[in-house]
A and B are shown apart, each in its own frame.
Chain A
């Protein structure tokens, strides 16, 4: 009896300490998250009061060195490139997703689905490099008179679209896959063709998931930095005319990337304000996405969405009737604007008319085709679009591999750079990247994993937890360039320690912290409740259950998530470009307080060194291989654990 009491007290003390420890860690990461958000707010106050919020947003002249901070062209640039990216990526992405989910055989799908995930994980600097070496010259060669340099809004939008594609395809595919089989069977049993079932049952049922996919892709496009900087031309002007996709354009992110490293005072504060605008735009995107999703969910459950509910019937009828004409006239305007870039106004109006005529006769034509033939045509179109997506991704890989292989050699991997990077090797960059990953892991893993466990197992369902969750969400959606800005202001500007390895590690750790917290929380939560109950039933405390049962069961998922996020950190450029990295170092250092070379930044640096093409491709290939091997390891880990743990 006595002994037992003693054991119990010891247990209690132990668990008290452990619990406080866990809560403390969780509080720390939450504090960090708040700190960053607060920091950005405080830093931008100077600009708000000196420039004035309205003047900042509406001013059309961005000339920081003359003291004029009109951000309108830049904000507009972000919006325009994003719209362009969506016009390119949404139709292609959704149709490919339809192919993947509804048409492809299980074998094809099992290949293409992971391919999508890998492409979503390729560093943006590699995409940017591809844009610079392939898309920009392509645009220049195709439209030499319209886009005299190739650097353009069009290039940026195509590239951003390509980058958003894997996300859109993969998430839409998930959404369509989760439509229950029973809906499909009911439709088929009524004599509907496979295609009719897809169009009339599966897509409407998956609508909210597909919208979420689009919003995710859109968020990625808005926050993307390196890829845009490298192809957009970055002139802070409003295109003339406004729909001239061949003009150079500048986004919020590219402004940050171009201007941070060298500024202080009001200019720096104005950049923080820009970052704030960027985050507000992303927040707005997310809120809209949530609204759409909740609305569709409501629509399915109660027959009408929140918005429709408050509308009188006649307004609803008008909306329903106006839908088609409005869409058609929008299409008309877009086609006319694009055509007017090439020819005069009369011809472009005619072209637009022809297009509208074609679109509006489609339903009549399609009615005359037998349903099975209609299905054949539709399936062909969906497959074609998947082929286009695959072709784009294939070209990307092939271009970098074919041109990168000649650069690879023992010397390339073991020598230091020579002749400004045109020759020699990349050893310091490899070492620097490895140092960054290790440092990042040391900071982010304990914090992130423990916080994730805390949130999943111990957090009470109260207001505080809600705030914590939403701040994690905010940080998760924060573009990487904003982390770079934050790191620059903190380490270089205030602490005055300049660019350092430790600074880079901290910033990257903050960047991946929300991802690690979330994956950990999700995997831990996915552990079946029975396991917890079984352990509790044997008299284990909550802490013992967590440590001995839950965490081991969730290990596979956590490790996979960690590897993937470290892979992401390894490829990031924007966060370290002002905080840690320099272009070239001739020797290898192991000091926390020294600058480093890193692969992604080195690739960026080389794009500004003339005649360095071969080395550039070599670096891009090495980066690609690092990221791909991270994916391979992650999927091996997943496979390993999925064999061990089963429920």
Chain B
């Protein structure tokens, strides 16, 4: 068995190099380069439509679902090209999980939501599944709230709880990287704070990439930040630097809210 996605163990989990992406005729990403560092939180910021979602969806090949989407350039996960012909998309997605903007639990019970992934990947023993349910929900700080109603439908949870359920669902298959596309934009401030705390907590074991429109959020929780504009990565650096001493004028104007 050839080991895939195991080639490099330096600090960068994902390395993107001059990535270009087209939706049909429209180019949505232009020469984007950036690293995603291990056990760090990487934030992507930028005005609406600049390509943040597009970029983050490239990282686990969710753009494969979009008709007419074409990609050029290099994106490596642990040293292996993920867009090479014959690349193993299934195990890539297993190792790079994703949380979406709107909580999207399946129309099933809470338990079935969590066991869905493990079952797909071949776990059949009930004991093992129960363990996974408990572990994932605990990691997502949801266990105490739902442990007595695991067989209730996921839709009966509040929006914030649903989003944490989605995080637990992602954690159930032990990914290495967790991609979050504006995970808090549909939530109220209290639920948002919980998710933020959770992201910081997760960073110890996982690598997190988060897209956000909330400057404070990016500044508060991330280690590295990339600022995007019109499909380009304008600046990528440590969060400290981006927010205090940005080297690009555009970045500065965006950060300080004097944009457009």
Contact = CB atoms under 8 A, between A and B. Distances in A.
B116 A183 contact: no
Given A182-B102, A186-B104, A191 B153 contact: no
A240 interface: no
A183 B65 contact: no
B132 interface: no
Nearest to B104: A182
Interface stretch (A79-87, A192-200, A481-489, A582-590): A192-200
Nearest to B98: A189
A190 B117 contact: yes
A343 interface: no
A106 B152 contact: no
A301 B102 contact: no
A303 interface: yes
Contact of A191 (B67, B120, B151, B156): B120
B100 interface: yes
Interface residues of A, number: 25
A311 to B, nearest CB: 14
Contact of A184 (B65, B105, B166): B65
A187 B106 CA distance: 9
Interface in A94-137: 106
A349 interface: no
Nearest to A106: B67
Contacts of B94: 190-191
B93 interface: yes
Given A186-B166, A191-B121, A196-B120, A300 B107 contact: yes
Contacts of B20: none
A326 interface: no
A320 interface: no
A352 to B, nearest CB: 29
A300 B108 CA distance: 6
Contacts of B152: 302-303
Contacts of A182: 100, 102, 104
A190 B105 CA distance: 12
A275 interface: no
Nearest to B61: A188
B169 interface: yes
Contacts of B92: 191
Contacts, number: 78
Nearest to A194: B65
Given A201-B106, A303-B109, A187 B151 contact: no
Given A185-B65, A302-B153, A302-B156, A191 B104 contact: no
Nearest to B124: A367
A371 B91 CA distance: 11
B107 A183 contact: yes
A191 B173 contact: yes
A192 B90 CA distance: 7
A200 B65 contact: no
Interface centre among A191, A196, A201, A371 (most CB of B within 10 A): A191
B65 A190 contact: no
B22 interface: no
B64 to A, nearest CB: 8
A193 B90 contact: yes
Contacts of A183: 104, 106-107
Contacts of A196: 120
A205 interface: yes
Contacts of A191: 90-94, 117, 120-121, 173
B60 interface: yes
B239 interface: no
Contacts of A192: 116-117, 120
A536 interface: no
Contacts of A467: none
The interface size bin for chain B is 20 to 34
A372 interface: yes
Given A184-B65, A200-B116, A189 B153 contact: no
Contact of A190 (B102, B108, B120): B120
Contact of B169 (A186, A204, A301): A186
Nearest to B108: A204
B93 A188 contact: yes
Contacts of A184: 65
A370 to B, nearest CB: 9
Interface in B50-90: 60, 62, 65, 67, 90
A62 to B, nearest CB: 49
A192 B121 CA distance: 8
Nearest to B110: A303
B207 interface: no
A189 B97 contact: yes
Nearest to B89: A191
Interface string A352-378: 000000000000000000011000000
Contacts of B62: 185, 188-189
Given A300-B155, A371-B90, A188 B65 contact: yes
Contacts of A302: 152-153, 156
A372 B90 contact: yes
B42 interface: no
Given A186-B166, A188-B65, A190-B120, A301 B153 contact: yes
A187 B116 contact: yes
Q: Which interface residue of B90, B153, B173 has the most chain A CB atoms within 10 A?
A: B90
B97 A303 contact: no
Contacts of A205: 106-107
Nearest to A300: B107
B33 interface: no
A542 B51 CA distance: 47
Contacts of B105: 186
Nearest to B97: A189
Interface string B21-37: 00000000000000000
B91 to A, nearest CB: 7
A192 B92 CA distance: 11
A182 B106 CA distance: 9
B155 to A, nearest CB: 6
A187 B102 CA distance: 14
A372 B120 CA distance: 12
Nearest to A105: B67
B170 interface: yes
A176 to B, nearest CB: 14
Contacts of A200: 116, 120
Interface in A211-250: none
Q: Which of B91, B108, B166, B169 has the most CB of A within 10 A?
A: B108
Contacts of A193: 90
Nearest to B93: A191
Q: Top 9 closest A-B pairs, CB basis?
A: A191-B94, A182-B104, A303-B153, A189-B98, A190-B117, A191-B93, A300-B107, A186-B104, A192-B120
Given A205-B107, A302-B156, 6 more contacts: A185-B62, A189-B62, A189-B170, A190-B116, A192-B120, A201-B106
15 contacts: A182-B104, A185-B104, A186-B104, A190-B97, A190-B116, A190-B120, A190-B170, A191-B91, A191-B92, A191-B120, A192-B116, A196-B120, A200-B120, A300-B155, A303-B153
